[in-house]
């Protein structure tokens, strides 16, 4: 996740270099958090370069499936679920999860991101080499994605999350590598819409509106609802992906097995996810366990005051007013 960029990797110099592009402007708030505005989206300078490579070089295929999230909305969970669903045997008797790749690989590594590791460092041909149908993931907002994702009719699964929980998750993640990213600063920036791939409300609204106008191709999911009803959501996801669970699979308990395999508790307990360090961004090593913090709904209460909560709630409510989207 690009926000984890350490201070030493990006300073004012990088900002100015990117700032030469007329479409970019430095963040208004703090020089030590040098997001820039690229096509109305806040990004780290290196992420801008990567998104530009995706925009100019990535060729979608009609049978691609895109998992899209704003950072910290449950990307790891969605990757695990979609991977488990699409890779399962269509025949119940062959469904054996005892040797499943999710037991030995971090979910983040089983479904590649379009824009990470940064594509100016890791060629887009890595994605071209994947066999169809590809399962891909991205944080890139809708207006910045190659338009053919939608004209080709690719399936897009969007997972959103209650913004206060997103902010807390984001702050905990970034604060591990950048102690200057305090909760107060994170909050002020977030309320201005400034965090990687932000503003979050624009990100949510882009895919929300598309899911309303094009429900066959865009499935809009909510983390909180998925947590409350995982079995129903796994069935819904499989159906949307064109591979519904058969009656036989349902009666064999394969849906529940999928839910359990991808549960926070199960994944967090596995050595591949609980130990070690990986650099999935490019120059930003993070502990594998940092993708498994609490996995809870409403953890914002432990980190934000009621006053902060009200301010952010009011901002988000105003931004999404009239769209039909609710948190």
Would you say 64 or 165 has its CB closer to ligand PAP? Answer: 165
Q: Which is nearer to ligand PAP, 73 or 320 (CB)?
A: 73
Using CB under 6 A as the criterion, which residues of the chain lie in contact with ligand PAP when the complex forms? 1, 69, 71-77, 80, 165, 169, 172, 262-264, 267, 291-295, 299
DSSP H/E element including 278: strand 277-278
Tell me the closest approach of the beta carbon of residue 248 to ligand PAP, in angstroms: 26
Nearer to ligand PAP, 75 or 178 (CB): 75
Whether residue 35 is preceded by a cis peptide bond, meaning omega within 30 degrees of 0, is no
CB-nearer residue toward ligand PAP: 7 or 263: 263
Shortest gap between Cβ of 275 and ligand PAP (angstroms)?
Answer: 16
Which residues touch 185 (CB under 8 Å, ≥6 apart)? 29, 30, 33
**Cβ proximity of 67 and 136 under 8 Å:** yes
Whether residue 117 is preceded by a cis peptide bond, meaning omega within 30 degrees of 0, is yes
Active-site residue, from 139, 203, 233, 303: 139
Which candidate, 239, 39, 232, 221, places its Cα nearest to that of 143? 39
Of 54, 51, 69, 7, the closest CA to residue 33 belongs to 7
∠ at Cα 317 (32, 311), nearest 5°?
Answer: 50
Report the nearest approach of ligand PAP to the CB of residue 267 (Å). 5
Of 231, 225, 228, 280, nearest to 108 by C-alpha is 280
**Active site (annotated) includes residue 100:** no
State which residue, 188 or 224, has the beta carbon closest to ligand PAP.
Answer: 224
As a three-state string, the secondary structure of 46-68 is HHHHHHHHHHHHCCCCCCCEEEE
Using alpha carbons only, how large is the chain's radius of gyration in Å?
19
Work out how close the CB of 299 gets to ligand PAP at its nearest, in angstroms, rounded to a whole number. Answer: 5
**Taking the mean position of all CA atoms in its chain, how far away is CA 27?**
22
Query: In angstroms, what is the minimal distance from the CB of 157 to ligand PAP?
Result: 13
With respect to ligand PAP, which residue has the nearer C-beta, 24 or 237?
A: 237
Residue 226 beta carbon to ligand PAP: minimum distance, rounded to whole angstroms: 8
Indicate which residues carry an active-site annotation: 139
């Amino acid at each position: 996740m690009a926000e984890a960029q350490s201070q030493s990797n990006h300073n004012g110099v990088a900002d100015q270099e990117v700032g030469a592009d007329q479409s970019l402007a430095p963040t208004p708030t703090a020089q030590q958090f040098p997001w820039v505005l690229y096509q109305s989206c806040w990004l780290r300078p290196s992420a801008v370069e990567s998104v530009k490579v995706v925009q100019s070089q990535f060729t979608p295929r009609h049978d691609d499936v895109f998992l899209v999230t704003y950072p910290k909305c449950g990307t790891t969970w969605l990757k695990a679920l979609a991977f488990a669903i699409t890779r399962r045997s269509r025949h119940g008797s062959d469904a054996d999860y005892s040797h499943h790749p999710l037991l030995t690989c971090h979910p983040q590594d089983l479904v590649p991101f379009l824009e990470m590791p940064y594509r100016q460092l890791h060629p887009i041909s890595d994605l071209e080499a994947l066999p169809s149908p590809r399962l891909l993931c991205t944080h890139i907002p809708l207006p910045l994605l190659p338009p053919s994702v939608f004209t080709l009719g690719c399936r897009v699964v969007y997972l959103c999350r209650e913004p206060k929980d997103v902010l807390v998750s984001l702050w905990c993640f970034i604060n591990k590598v950048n102690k200057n990213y305090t909760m107060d600063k994170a909050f002020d920036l977030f309320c201005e819409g400034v965090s990687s791939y932000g503003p979050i409300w624009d990100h949510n609204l882009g895919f929300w509106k598309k899911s309303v106008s094009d429900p066959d191709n865009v499935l809009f999911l909510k983390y909180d609802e998925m947590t409350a009803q995982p079995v129903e959501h796994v069935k819904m996801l499989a159906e949307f992906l064109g591979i519904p669970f058969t009656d036989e699979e349902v009666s064999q308990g394969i849906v529940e097995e999928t839910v359990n395999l991808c549960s926070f508790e199960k994944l967090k307990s596995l050595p591949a996810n609980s130990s070690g360090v990986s650099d999935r961004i490019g120059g930003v090593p993070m502990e594998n366990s940092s993708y498994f913090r609490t996995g809870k709904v409403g953890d914002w209460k432990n980190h934000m005051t009621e006053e902060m909560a009200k301010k952010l709630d009011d901002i988000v409510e105003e931004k999404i007013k009239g769209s039909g989207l609710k948190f």
